[in-house]
Structure 1
């Protein structure tokens, strides 16, 4: 038994209750082979867990977790020898102590230590989860006006940005004749590896053109895709974990049971045996992104708008609604899946099964109101592309138009009750919605004039008619009217 008030660390690890899963390898025998920039909750609940699964057979791939600015993670976990608890939340909650992080650093006040680690020949992989903002990107690659980039170009040996650190480490390695590391973005942005590579080359070109040429020819920047819902850590989680561990964990993390990591198999200096931990190695990252966008994100939007009109709060609530849940499943299997060109070996039916199980997870409180944000950006890529493909294949689009019409009815409702939209096109959407008369064709014609959302589909008479019919089917957008529209949409669902 652990001592009340004790801290999770190497010395308390063996005394944890038997139900707590813990590392099966000798942590003292591992070596740092990965530097990760952005030591937030997602990394510790996702990539670090995959690496934890591998360290027994591949001890050279432990992680140095680097925060760029905040020292909070370092200060919380360094006294714990890098150990922390992963809580998998679902019907049954499970706890597992993760030991993959062998070192914690903060670049803001330990820059020399970070650069020394990046220069070490033992490090062969640098991974990043710094969010899209952390890449300092502009419309055409690197944003050279970004304050961090301005700073780093003036002082390349004392970088503050992720790009500056990555290139500074490569610069040292080239000067010392050390082979470069692979640089792997694990942030969900389109073509993440390609965009990171372009930014690194643009930055290096300003510092040293020869360095840029070396990076271009020698360094790999694989693309990747990641997926797992990771709710924020709160005091309730800390208390729950402490009660089960018998000791304190300053920063546990939690996530749903489902997790996915797809990586382009293009490394320049060796790699961990990722496939043995369940990582999918694929040359078609765009195909996996497309499958996720259409089979996961599009149903999410359908649940958000139709569920919000039915006065439901969360995804799990929506999946308990007797007309909405079967509609969404039919939408996925019958209307969306046939339009998705899936990667080789991809099992669409199994993927849909997994998504539906995730949607039903009552432990994940995923708010429909939050998913409904930024509809003008999401609807075109999540649903309108699928509708265009269905039209090209002469497939029916009636069900596909219902969530689009649901979004428009949602926009109208928000305008009527005076609730501000969270959307970059909020002004034009609200103005259009405020003028809505309830007449389906008239309202739809007004919304279709917003080219930023609907062009070029707005010129297709088949789409215009189907969207107007779906809008009319939702009636006054009351819960009863929406339920009736869903029931009618399910008639002939086997088409």
Structure 2
């Protein structure tokens, strides 16, 4: 079986209109996929040049003539979805380490309009360095160097400004990136004219991406390749649901011509906070509150949670009854309570997707920080709205505390244990607060239930963890303590059944 290539799968070649920093599956499975769809329908007619910063190996793309396959598998509104798309929108991939001059040459391309990025969250951080290195080290410095070359080549032309859209999962990612570029411009003494051009003619857009994109398992990959009749080293596996919300004005809408009325999955609006808040609370918040309980039950993936008859009821009730009512809405079509409810039902479909191996342990990374960012405001809003304890959230929080109970430390790495069947499974606690909980859990004594309540109150009142004192919420310490005692005494399965 031969590799995917343009001889066996001919594809049109379009002008290079997008520069993209990053080769990861999220970019391949969402922005690049959407550009491909627009090209196929004659709505954009542009290609993407990718810059790879991590190493100089680009043969995984070049060996396939820069083609790759996106396989969409899952359930949407109760219907099975299976779609396969060959993406030909990528024209070439350049290695920053060895082809930096070629990257800078692209800055002189009059067709170029858009810059995309996904360089991990820390990739947006400001690093004080010269942009005249070949290449600069950080992504903001690379971008500053590119924009400065663009400015010089177009003579500061207003018409040749660019739209920059970072997709890193950071709130206000566009503003953060702009600030880093402006600081680098000052540090490198690039001059007032460049600073003015940057301010008025380069549009940095905050954006939010929402799609689970993975590499397929070996078994799924073989099955898909057998069906397609070719090998694809870049095969990208994704769910049907996708959303790309971009903060922008009319200029951004005109530039992003691949986004129009036929693509409701791409939202361009001057304020995308509704979409960010909805995703953070409903999808991410549910993950953080259900992951610990699911793992304590011995489950491995999100899909396993939804197959478990009791756990699936808990997930649905927590999301629909305790989280959804607290999500702020704008009282207008598409940004109202109905839109939040519809999103929640879409999320439940996504959780049930049997084709995605969304591991619970992967969700557990930095669980404490996620719990604060995703769920503290939800708890406070629930109290403000209902003046009552959110019972499902209280159980989810108790399970989180038990998940954070380390039984041993090994060179700074902490490990917890759960009983599965007749055996014991050890798991890593990958959380910067693991040492904190390792110490606090030592205050809990077997046979002394009062020590559980003391421990819970100590944690809930710690404002360094939650940026507020959660122990002041009426009945919350008691509810979390009761659930934690039940989990310790009776186990996750029995406690969960009693709660419903």
TM-score (norm 2): 0.85
CA apart distance, 1:170: 1.9
Q: Which runs of 5+ in 2 are unaligned?
A: 75-79, 409-415, 418-425
Give 3-state SS (helix, strand or coil) of 2:203's partner: coil
Q: Does the 8 A contact of 1:294 with 1:386 survive in 2? A: yes
> Which residue number corresponds to residue 329 of structure 2?
342
Contact 1:306–1:407 (8 Å) recurs in 2: yes
* Aligned-pair CA distance for 1:85: 1.0
Question: Is the Cα–Cα contact under 8 Å of residues 89 and 255 in structure 1 kept in the other structure?
Answer: yes
Q: Residues 85-100 of structure 1: matches in 2 within 5 Å?
A: 85-90=69-74, 93-100=82-89
Does 2:216 match 1:224?
no
RMSD of equivalent CA atoms: 2.4
Q: What's 2:8 paired with?
A: 12
After superposition, the Cα gap between the structure-2 partners of 1:59 and 1:81, relative to the gap in structure 1 and judged at 3 Å, is: farther
Deviation digits for residues 348-398 of structure 1 (CA, Å, limit 9, x no counterpart): 121111110111111211222222232221111222211111222344322
Which of 438, 444, 463 is the equivalent residue of 1:451?
463
Per-residue deviation, 1:246: 1.9
Displacement of 1:466: 3.3
> Which has the larger share of strand?
2
Q: Distance in 1 between matches of 2:460 and 2:294?
A: 23
Work out the number of aligned pairs and report it: 458
Task: Within 5 Å, give how 1:321-400 maps onto structure 2.
Answer: 321-342=308-329, 344=332, 345-346=334-335, 347-396=339-388, 397-400=390-393
| Structure 1 residue ranges without an equivalent (≥5) | 15-25, 145-149, 488-495
Q: What is the rounded CA distance, in whole Å, between the counterparts of 2:497 and 2:71 in structure 1?
A: 40
SS of match in other structure, 1:97: strand
- 2:148 maps to 171
2:52 matches 1:67: yes
Determine which of 56, 60, 72 is the counterpart of 1:76. 60
Instruction: Give, in whole Å, the separation in 1 of the partners of 2:135 and 2:300.
Output: 47
In the alignment, what sits opposite 1:288? Answer: 275
Name the SS of the counterpart of 1:184 in structure 2. Answer: strand
In structure 2, do the counterparts of structure 1 residues 363 and 331 end up closer, same or farther at CA, with 3 Å as the change threshold?
A: same
Given that 1:68 and 1:161 are in contact with CA atoms closer than 8 Å, whether structure 2 keeps it comes out as no
Q: Which region of structure 1 is more displaced relative to structure 2, 404-413 or 344-353?
A: 404-413
Matched, 1:186 2:167: yes
Shift of residue 341 of structure 1?
1.1
In 2, the alpha carbon distance for the partners of 1:54 and 1:386 equals 38
Q: Given the alignment, which residue of 309, 313, 328 partners 2:296?
A: 309
The secondary structure found in structure 2 opposite 1:114 is helix
- Describe how 1:464-475 pairs up with structure 2 within 5 A: 464-474=477-487
1:200 to 175, 181, 190: 181
Tell me by how many angstroms 1:403 deviates: 0.8
1:170 counterpart SS class: helix
8 Å contact kept, 1:32–1:60:
no
Q: TM-score of the superposition, structure 1-length normalised? A: 0.86
Report deviation, 1:297: 1.0
| 2:460 equivalent to 1:460 | no
